[in-house]
Structure 1
Amino acid sequence: MHLDKIRPGQVVLSIAGRDIGTIYLIYRVIDDRYVEVVDGQHRRVENPKKKNVRHLKFLNHHVKEISEMLQTYGKVSNQEIRKVLKSIANRGEELDG
C-alpha cells in the first residue's frame, strides 16, 4: 500500500471482517499496516476500530475538512463525520477506488 494514500480523512470501504461493506473515514494512521477508522455512528471517535489496511479498499475521496480539523485540533466530532459520510452517499458519487 502506498503510504501517501493512507492519511486521516481518507474514505475507505471495509472488504473483510464482520463490518464488510461499511464505509469509514480514516481517523488515525497507526503505522504502515494499521489504521483506526470511524463512521461517527457505530464506530465513534471515542472508540475507533483498528483495521489492517489490507482489509480496506481505498476510495477516491479524501475529506480535506476532516483532515484539517485533525491536524489543527487533534480531534473531530462524530456529528461532522456522519455529516460528511451522509453527504457522500447522498450525492451518489462514484465510490470506486
Structure 2
Amino acid sequence: MVDGESGSPRIGQLVRINRGREADQYAIIIDVLDETFVLLADGDKRKFDRPKRKNIHHVDLLDYISPEVERSMLETGRVTNGKLRFAISKFVNEELTDWKKGDSLYGER
C-alpha cells in the first residue's frame, strides 16, 4: 500500500531515521503525537512498549505504509514486535529492490 497523496505521517508508515544514534535505520510510525512528533518502533531495538519519540524533521517519510501494521493498530491499538520486524524486512527485501531499479522511494514523481 502506497500513500503518495499527503506528506503528513500516518500510522503504519515506514520511515528512515536520518538524525541521532539510530541514523540510517528503518522504523514504523505507531502513533502521531502532533504535527511535529511521532512515536517509532522497529520490533527489535525499539519495541512497541518502549517507542522512540522523534521529530518528523529528523526522519524521511517513505512512500510505503504497511497494511498489516496499520490494520492491527486500527483494530486493537497494538501491534506485535514480530509484525513490526516482518513489515520492515518485507519492505527492505521487496520495495528497496524495486527502488534500486529506478523508482522513487520518497514520493517525488
Confirm or deny a common fold (TM above 0.5): yes
- Partner amino acid, structure 1, of 2:25: T
1:50 to 50, 53, 70: 53
* Structure 2 alignment gaps of length 5 or more: 1-5
RMSD, aligned CA: 1.7
Percent identity among equivalent residues? 26
2:64 aligns to what?
61
Aligned to 1:88: 91
Question: Does the CA-based 8 Å contact 2:14-2:29 persist in structure 1?
Answer: yes
1:20 aligned onto 2:46: no
Aligned to 1:76, which of 74, 79, 101?
Answer: 79
Encode CA deviations 1:33-84: one digit per residue, 9 max, x unaligned: 0000000000000100000000010111111221111011000000001011
Larger radius of gyration: 2
In structure 1, the gaps of 5 or more residues are none
**Residue 55 of structure 1 aligns to which amino acid in structure 2?**
H
TM-score (norm 1): 0.91
Aligned residue type for 2:85: R
SS in 2 for 1:82: helix
Count of matched residue positions in the alignment of Structure 1 and Structure 2 = 96
**Is the contact between residue 68 and residue 83 of structure 2 (CA under 8 Å) also seen in structure 1?**
no
